[in-house]
Amino acid sequence: MNLLSLLLSAYLSSQSLGSLSNNTGVQQSQLKKLLILALPLLIKYMTSNSQSQSGLSSLFGALGQHQSRSTVSDQIESADVEDGNKIIGHILGDDESDVLKSLSSETGLDIGDIANVLGTIAPSLMSGVSAATQTAQTQQQAGVNLSDGLDLGDLLSLFGGAASQPAPQAAPANDGTQLINALLSMM
């Protein structure tokens, strides 16, 4: 399973959607639509940022600061939205305003609500990428072929066993495989 599918499964679980809705005031149906659109974009931008040595080093350092192993819903409930907004700013860079406007246009949500949702999920997103990278490193050291993606069984507990529904599939460039491989090169 690829990183994006795992993250989508975790964020689209009823517990995570409930926590996110309670924290942001956005309806679960709207959150679902936003997350399905936003997570691939965030992975795409993180992958793009990791293509330069400075971007990769910055991301690797940020992952070291976000290593919570609580469930996604627990992380959402205790999210530091201010920190999350900084994370989103780093991920999207100069494109942040355009991305928020585009997501607003596609979802019908207010830009402020979108920024709040993204800021709320950002710390748990970083923890998820961190956990996936560590799991991939362990599997790689054990001689496991990672070309088919991450082993779902190794990551389920980190996300509260949340893979209850299949997640939409993304193009390989946006599924997180390139991102994990870039991060593994730093280890």
pLDDT digits (tens, 9 = 90+) for 158-183: 455 444 444 445 454 567 777 777 77
Are 42 and 91 spatial neighbours (Cβ–Cβ below 8 Å)?
Answer: yes
Tokens (6 digits) for 16: 């995570």
Q: What is the pLDDT of residues 8-52, one digit of tens each?
A: 999 999 999 999 999 999 999 999 999 999 999 999 999 998 888
- What is the pTM assigned to this prediction? 0.82
The span from the CA of 49 to the CA of 160, in Å, is 29
Q: How far is CA 50 from CA 38, 139, 151, in A?
A: 18, 21, 23
What angle is formed at CA 20 by the lines to CA 60 and CA 151, rounded to 5 degrees? 50
Domain ranges of the chain: 3-186
